[in-house]
Amino acid sequence: MDSQNIMFIVLAVVITLSSVLTVVTRSIMRAATYLFFTLLGTAGLYFLMGYTFLGAVQVMVYAGGIIVLYVFAILLTRGTKDSLSENTKSKIILSAVLSLVGFGLAAYLIFIQQFKAEVLAAPNESVLTMQQIGTNMLSTDQGGYLLPFEAVSVLLLACIVAGLMIARKR
Amino acid sequence: MFDFSVISQWLHNLLLSIVPEWAAILIESVLVALVIITLYAVFAIVLIYMERKICGFFQCRLGPNRVGKWGLLQVFADVFKMLQKEIIKMRQTDRFLHDLAPFFVVTASMLTFACLPWNKGAHMIDFNIGIFFILAVSSVGVVGILLAGWGSNSKYPLIGAMRSGAQIISYELSIGLTMLTMICLTGTMQISEIVEQQAAEGWNIFRGHVPALIAFVIYLIAGNAECNRGPFDLPEAESELTAGYHTEYSGMHFGYFYLAEYLNLFIAAGIASTIFLGGWAPLHIAGLDGFNGVMDAIPGIVWFLGKTFFVVFLFMWERWTLPRLRIDNILSLEWKYLMPISMANLVLMALVVAFKLYL
């Protein structure tokens, strides 16, 4: 039992508890907050494995972007009626079946997977340097990510233009 | 130059000889956390006193002068008053989120605070993506502000939080671009390496000359906006919103927002002094060996604090000189002026680095 395993257990408990709370809470704002804890816990796992870049991206994109966007959307769209809709019988049955199927699938995958726990025993920050990530992102060689990178930027540009079209003054 | 890692290494070996490794790391983490919290409180007190005095002098007043000599004990009196105050409970609010919000703000600010380079070898958090980590964790504070606005269930905090969110997200772009400009020059994101490079080759603001100077000015403007301070203090504009997103907070919960505001100012200044003015690196002038020797004799922490408080003074100068802007003016200043300028500046810096025009 070394410090890394203790940290892993702490993070795993945080992630599991806040994931459960995200789906069972009735207030949409609390759900967003618990989701935020889940995402931060995931970032903590990345830091634990030494992937600091991925961890920082997780915090930046999900905390600085997605959650703020959610909270903004909640603030702008709804007033005091922020609780969820009532549960009907068919809704409960359908969601129970869906969650059982999802649980079974995830459990099956976990049990057939051969985990290589010993590979990640020693966290090392220099598994992947910033320079390597940057070069791969903009290279056209084997394993280069230039095309997806540019495709995503075109997509984002389209989103911005569409947003301007919707929000412009007529 | 004195290397602080000698002391931390000695402590680590001492602990290893007594307890197993995981316990040693745990004890060290607790010690570092205590140091961070203590420094956080001490700097908040210093900064609040400094702000009140400087504000007074800018407005041709004396500032606090009754409690203690030159009003030195005024801030302590304020702190004790705030500690004793009741934390009020309001009806029809989400208590949990309302009480959680200040902790988000203060945690984000403490995490960035831990990244500052205090001395050679005295870094608390030193990742290979240091600057990016600072940008990432500082965005957690926005969630706290938005939750504070929503959790208060009142109009003023809600408007203040919306303004603050829009403003911080916008100005983060300028901050990110100016930092990218400087990373382009240094070629590394690790904070300790950035400072050591400047100790060897001169401060970045001299090495990068024109683009670095433009980036520094943009950083000074955007940094003030990031901290929600005047002339960009619209989220808490007292004449229109009473106190913005922390209107409904009392006692130490208000105190956390207040602490985080001042410490964010210190952190913004500390980052400016790290990436532009060389962190703990002493001032060297090529050729003057005697002068350089004298400068080397001054400890690194004095250099770091001196530069940081100089930048804090610049921020305060800006705050107390300019009148408050309107919210649409603030957003158009960022999106129509600062961001295009910093993008052009990034290209300029890339050209300077590509043609090796830096000093």
CATH (domain of A71): 1.20.120.1200
The DSSP result for A103-120, as a single string, is HHHHHHHHHH----GGGG
Rounded to a whole number of angstroms, the distance from the CA of A47 to the nearest CA of chain B is 10
Q: Mutate which of B29, B99, B142, B155 to disrupt the A interface (most A C-beta within 10 Å)?
A: B142
Residues of chain B contacting residue A3, judged by C-beta atoms under 8 Å apart: 21-22, 25-26
Please name the residue that has the structure tokens 């007594």.
B18
Using alpha carbons only, how large is chain B's radius of gyration in Å? 21
Largest distance between two CA atoms of chain A? 65
Element spanning B219, H or E: helix B209-226
Question: B349 exposed, middle or buried (CB, 10 Å; 0-12, 13-18, 19+)?
Answer: buried
Please name the residue that has the structure tokens 């690790």.
B190
Task: Identify whether residues A71 and A11 lie together within a single domain.
Answer: yes
Tell me the pLDDT tens digit for each residue of A110-160.
888 877 665 555 566 666 777 888 888 888 887 788 888 889 999 999 998
What is the structure's pLDDT at A13?
Answer: 93
Q: Give yes or no for residue B342 having a pLDDT over 60.
A: yes
State ipTM: 0.81
Rounded to a whole number of angstroms, the distance from the CA of A109 to the nearest CA of chain B is 32
Residue B89 neighbours by CB distance under 10 Å: 10
More confident residue, A168 or B112: B112
Q: Mutate which of A22, A72, A135 to disrupt the B interface (most B C-beta within 10 Å)?
A: A72
Q: Distance between CA atoms of B20 and B57, rounded to whole angstroms?
A: 55
What is the structure's pLDDT at B155?
Answer: 80
Task: Identify whether residues A68 and A5 lie together within a single domain.
Answer: yes
Tell me the pLDDT tens digit for each residue of A41-92.
998 888 888 788 888 888 888 877 888 888 888 877 765 555 556 778 888 8
C-beta atoms of B129 and A67 within 8 A:
no
Task: Identify whether residues A121 and A147 lie together within a single domain.
Answer: no
DSSP B282: P
Rounded to a whole number of angstroms, the distance from the CA of A107 to the nearest CA of chain B is 32
Cβ atoms of A53 and A124 within 8 Å: the answer is no
Q: Does A133 touch chain B (CB under 8 A)?
A: no
What is the number of domains present in chain A? Answer: 2
Contacts by A21-26, CB closer than 8 A, 24 or more apart: A26/A83, A26/A84
Cβ atoms of B300 and B120 within 8 Å: the answer is yes
| Tokens, residue B60 | 């041709």
Residues of chain A contacting residue B165, judged by C-beta atoms under 8 Å apart: 68, 71-72
Task: Identify whether residues A75 and A32 lie together within a single domain.
Answer: yes
Q: Considering only residues 71 to 90 of chain A, which have any Cβ-Cβ distance to chain B shorter than 8 Å?
A: 71-72, 74-76
A85 part of a folded domain: no
Task: Identify whether residues A162 and A121 lie together within a single domain.
Answer: no
Q: Distance between CA atoms of B263 and B282, rounded to whole angstroms?
A: 24
CB pairs under 8 A between A and B: 86
Cβ atoms of B205 and B276 within 8 Å: the answer is yes
Task: Identify whether residues A49 and A63 lie together within a single domain.
Answer: yes
Task: Identify whether residues A121 and A145 lie together within a single domain.
Answer: no
State the Cα angle at B277 between B274 and B283, rounded to 5°.
Answer: 120
Domain span at A4? 1-79+117-125
| pLDDT above 70 coverage of chain B, percent | 98
